[in-house]
Amino acid sequence: MTKLAIVYHSGYGHTAKVAEHVATGARSVSGVEVDVLKADDLASAEEGPWDTLAAADGIIFGSPTYMGSSSSVFKAFSEASSKIWMNGGWRDKIAAGFTNSGSLAGDKLNTLQELMILAGQHGMIWANYGAFPGYNTSTSDFEGAWNRAGHMVGLGTQALTDLPADQTPDQADLETSEDFGKRIGEITRRWVAGKS
């Protein structure tokens, strides 16, 4: 089996919803098991499901974008992982990332870059999303387009700030989330298969 873990923080439920759909996509890949963990439970190096992460072949990081970067809860997890960094514990695992915010662009790229740097520190292998951007005049139904805002290094979704999590992000973003999860599942499986 290929083991994938998703570690996310969600302030108001929107990012949690995205995480679920990423998990659904990843689980659709034959031979891939997915654990979904809350960054809230990994705020210190001393407790929390660190063993699950140690056993994972790949880790998908997810955080809302607050003031242009990851949330402090996610950052506490990131910081707590420095003990693992010292021993190279996540070296050569697959990594990927997603973020959600109220705007379509909204400096979400900066959060994704922060997640890429975290993966870089750990010496992980970053799986870019790279899905073709979905929106132009010929795909005029904005709602139905995948990767509609055109985020390439990871998954970027939009939750309208004046709607609760049961109404946003929209269907296009949730389907994109599944597509993203499927891609990371496939990449991780291939990476595991290549181990000599």
Enter the tokens of residue 129.
């999303």
- Our CA angle for 108, 120, 128, nearest 5°, is 55
Residues 135-194 binding its own copies (CB under 8 A) are 135-138, 148-154, 156, 160-163, 187, 190-194
- 44 is an interface residue for its own copies by CB under 8 A: no
Q: Which stretch binds its own copies (CB under 8 A): 12-20, 48-56, 124-132, 173-181?
A: 124-132
Query: How many binding residues for its own copies (CB under 8 A)?
Result: 72
8 Å CB contact between 55 and 185: no
Q: Which stretch binds its own copies (CB under 8 A): 18-26, 54-62, 73-81, 172-180?
A: 73-81
- 126 is an interface residue for its own copies by CB under 8 A: yes
Q: Taking the complex as a whole, how short is the minimal distance between the CB of residue 149 and its own copies, in angstroms?
A: 4
- 195 is an interface residue for its own copies by CB under 8 A: yes
Q: Taking the complex as a whole, how short is the minimal distance between the CB of residue 132 and its own copies, in angstroms?
A: 8
- 105 is an interface residue for its own copies by CB under 8 A: yes
> Which CB atom, from 171 or from 196, has the smaller least distance to its own copies?
196
Residues 7-36 binding its own copies (CB under 8 A) are none
> CA 31 to CA 53: how far, in whole Å?
18
Q: Cα separations (Å) of 53 from 24, 58, 134, 155, 161?
A: 19, 8, 33, 21, 32
8 Å CB contact between 124 and 94: yes
Sign of CA dihedral 133, 59, 19, 9: negative
Q: Binding its own copies by CB under 8 A: which of 35, 107, 144, 175? A: 107
Cβ-proximal residues to 93 (8 Å cutoff; 6+ apart), any chain? 56, 57, 58, 59, 122, 124, 125
Q: Binding its own copies by CB under 8 A: which of 10, 15, 71, 177? A: 71
